Chains A and B, each alone.
Chain A
Amino acid sequence: MPDFDVLVLGGGPAGVNAALAASAAGLKVALFDENPAAGGQVYRAPISSAMPPTGDLLPGDALRHELDQSAVTTYFNHVVWAVTADYRVDAAGPAGPVHCSGRALIVATGTTERVVPFDGWTTPGVIGLAAATILLKSQGILPGRSTLVAGCGPLLAAVAAKIIEGGGKVEAIADIAGLGDWGRTMPAMVSRPDLMREGFHWVREIWSAGVPMLSRQTLVKVEQAHDGLHATLAPCDAAGRPIAGKQRSVVADCIAVGHGLTPSSEITRLLRAEHRYSRQAGGWIAVADQDGRTSRPRLYVAGDGAGIAGAAAAGHHGTLAGLACAIDLGTHLGTHLGTDLGTDAAQLRSRVQAARQAHAKAARFGRSMAQLMALRPGHTDSIEPQTIVCRCEDVTRAEIDAACDAGAHDMNQLKAWTRCGMGPCQGRTCGDVAAELLAARVHGGLREPAGCLSARTPLRPMTVEALTGNFSYDDIPIPMAAPL
């Protein structure tokens, strides 16, 4: 007898809305998240009420409040390290190991940030744009006395504006994109006048602070010096590759860099759902219908982890997944769901229609932002041979190229031949870039034959004692001894 009807993994806007929708439809729901509270990345809760409120605080608080008021069982501060095919989830929390089972699973695990390596990117003081966002929004800390903001996507302006609002200095913003790239997002931006206004507000703040906003500029090198980090910027083409032209040097205390987001598909790949590669969506994503149903029964995906479409779309997508789960479980269990408010089948279906419309509208904006964040074909061409690609194992581009030339055709073979992806990050930081390098060198740029690193448990490194608990030798269930 499963402990819950549905387990939701991820407490951002998608996961919370999925849990709320499923719960409102009468299902028994549990939600897991490794953070202390709901909100995910975009609505991350500040650690202290003494911090100045940001624009994301109100929707984040509303989300957290609604969750508190609901019947959803929450497991915050829990790191999920295993999920089995019959939807048993194992997690480690402050009070020790926890496991529970569900009839269905909704995966809403969001994204990780992609950084295309450059010389010196592993230098302490170089952090991700998402990391800078967490420092500013959640911890109330400036990334540095002065910060260089570089890379691509909407996070550049968001981070720069927040630094300025917090009283810090931004040395420059170096965007790989050109103004034309931004111009192409205007039609979609118009569909969200509120977000467009916010974006213009950021630009105004940045301009008023006298911060140089550089287009078609890329970071090529960072070095630690006595007076801070010395960054070299070069003009670049549309793919982010440096081209001939005057390079400029910037000195800053911190460098916040990011080249887009990649959906976290570890869990759905672990469960062997069908996946496809979509550059536009950010990488490998589970094949799913518009409501988030994957190729495996009663397994759903929602939010940016299912393909980048932004925070607003994530919320509606979560609602769709929660409702789809309620409809499917009703069918699966052969039971007629209760007649509580919003739970009879016809009501469910009309809520689905409403959520689909809202989702489509919100996704339009989100997908245009995703376009700015997608990995540009050719961007990885510019990684120098001696530059580290796999941070955990210090594997350079040259070693990856040599393995490809020696016959490694896919990511798992590349991993065995170079150790790229064998470290504690389990390929989350390097996997997308390494696959892009392999695909370019061996498969004419096609990502499908390159594949991905096999997803494995534990989903995050776990200490042995967190897994073994208290035991004595006699407790160990010894199977039959090996043959003599």
Chain B
Amino acid sequence: MNQAMTTAFDVAVIGGGVMGCTTALFLARAGMRVAVVERDSLCRGASGVNAGTLTLHMTRAALVPYAIRAWDMWMNTDAWLGQSVLATAAPGLSLAFTEHEKTLLQQRAAARRGYGAQIDLLDRDASLALEPGLNPAVLQAAYCATDGFASAYLTGRAYHAALREAGVHIFEQTPATRIDRVAGMYRVTGPADAIHIDATRLVMAGGVWLEPLLAMLDIDIPVKTLVNQLIVTERMPPVMQSVLSIANGLLSMKQFANGSVLIGGGWQGVGDRVRGGVETVPDNLIGNLRLAQHVIPALAQARVARIWLGLEAETADAMPMIGALPGLPDAWVIGCVHSGYTSGPYMGKLLAQAMLGEEPELPLFDPARLMVPVEALAQPH
């Protein structure tokens, strides 16, 4: 790969995850000449290794409107992506096993209802009727009829095909090492100066690597790297039919059509954005599994097939940054969304709208707020 691309692009998207790829896709379909510059393979970062949960219970309350619209996109990938990620609609149950958890449950349900989610509270008997495999010690459940899940690992292949069909130039195995302004364009340089990509516009969509990437533009926005643990079992007979979570937000669980159960919940492992996920913390593995087994006792007999770690990006106020980068012409950023996979395609579509000069359907999230000292930020709610 020893090339300087002689023809400039209309936009270079740095970061080939769901957000970067969706932005790229919609821009390409609107007629732009698009390059996606990805350090590894498409959707091999958070986008390909997350739990694939499409639930309003785990989405931050303020992001519920985005998640609802993204759910529609995931359930209808034929219409805009071309390939399925096996998105499956399923009811979502968030559970309470203690009085404190009941309070949390009610708070969280109320907050999400405030943003348009349809969430009802169920008593113990109603919960067990809906999900017979639940531990009978459950006290209460919050129920959302329109939750679901997808197989995140299918995402890369789907976007690869869609981007190629849309004429997007995909540069994989190409981490950006430098970004310069050259003759009014952005010049993105790859490793060993072996490749230069020139573009009129820039989209920074690099996930946990946004902090070092933005630093290349002399923009200082701290991005925390969460190292999330995921556990998948072997195929089993059906033991659950809804997407399950716990009031404190620390468990997510679903069973795929092939019978395997995927367990998440944000328990942390050892790792960082330089080394990636390094290893599991044994106490966190055991804690996560104990929660899962407590909720669905039949899981005691499941065999764990694989444990891995995914990197999730988080800003100082745990809200996304999506919008124009201040002080730079035609430079944009998208990322750092909690439950980013859930809302990802809609966020990417929104940014593309904004970049095409349209009024985005829902408000973006001004990155400028994150460039100020932390004390001056508004309280999250």
Contacts and interface: CB of A to CB of B under 8 A. Distances in A.
A124 B234 CA distance: 21
Interface string A409-431: 11011011100001110100000
A270 B233 CA distance: 20
B254 to A, nearest CB: 16
B58 interface: yes
Contacts of A417: 154, 156-157
| Prevailing SS type, chain A contact patch | loop
A246 B159 CA distance: 48
Interface string B128-157: 000000000100000000000000011011
Interface residues of B, number: 60
B301 A465 contact: yes
Contact of B301 (A423, A457, A463): A463
Interface in B268-308: 268, 270, 278-280, 282-287, 289-294, 299-308
A416 B107 CA distance: 38
B285 A467 contact: yes
Given A461-B234, A477-B287, A482 B58 contact: yes
A439 to B, nearest CB: 16
Contact of B268 (A85, A415, A454, A479): A479
Contacts of B381: 484
B289 A426 contact: no
B156 A461 contact: no
B157 A468 contact: no
A377 interface: no
A406 B41 CA distance: 13
Contacts of B321: none
Contact of A461 (B108, B250, B304): B304
Contact of A482 (B97, B154, B248): B248
A131 interface: no
B60 A464 contact: no
Contacts of A463: 300-304
A82 interface: yes
B41 A409 contact: yes
Nearest to B283: A477
Nearest to B381: A484
Contact of A473 (B153, B156, B268, B294): B294
A123 interface: no
Contacts of B224: none
A444 interface: no
Nearest to B267: A479
B248 to A, nearest CB: 4
B107 to A, nearest CB: 7
B219 interface: no
A291 B156 CA distance: 43
Contact of B279 (A84, A467, A476, A481): A84
Nearest to A417: B157
Contacts of A464: 233, 289, 292-293, 299-304
A468 B291 CA distance: 10
B65 to A, nearest CB: 16
A243 B6 CA distance: 49
Contact of A465 (B173, B278, B280, B300): B300
A403 to B, nearest CB: 7
A483 interface: yes
A467 B248 contact: no
Contacts of A456: 306-308
Interface of A: 82, 84-85, 88, 90, 99, 270, 272, 403, 406-410, 412-413, 415-417, 422-424, 426, 454, 456-458, 461-465, 467-469, 471, 473, 475-479, 481-484
Given A415-B153, A417-B157, A464-B303, 6 more contacts: A416-B44, A478-B248, A482-B58, A483-B380, A484-B60, A484-B108
Interface of B: 41, 44, 48, 58, 60-61, 97-98, 104, 107-108, 111, 137, 153-154, 156-157, 160-161, 164, 172-173, 233-234, 248-250, 266-268, 270, 278-280, 282-287, 289-294, 299-308, 318, 338, 380-381
19 contacts: A85-B278, A403-B157, A410-B41, A415-B153, A424-B303, A456-B307, A457-B280, A457-B307, A458-B305, A461-B234, A462-B303, A464-B299, A465-B293, A467-B289, A469-B286, A476-B290, A482-B248, A484-B61, A484-B107
User: Which 7 residue pairs are nearest across A and B when measured between Cβ atoms?
Assistant: A482-B249, A465-B300, A461-B303, A481-B248, A416-B153, A417-B157, A476-B290
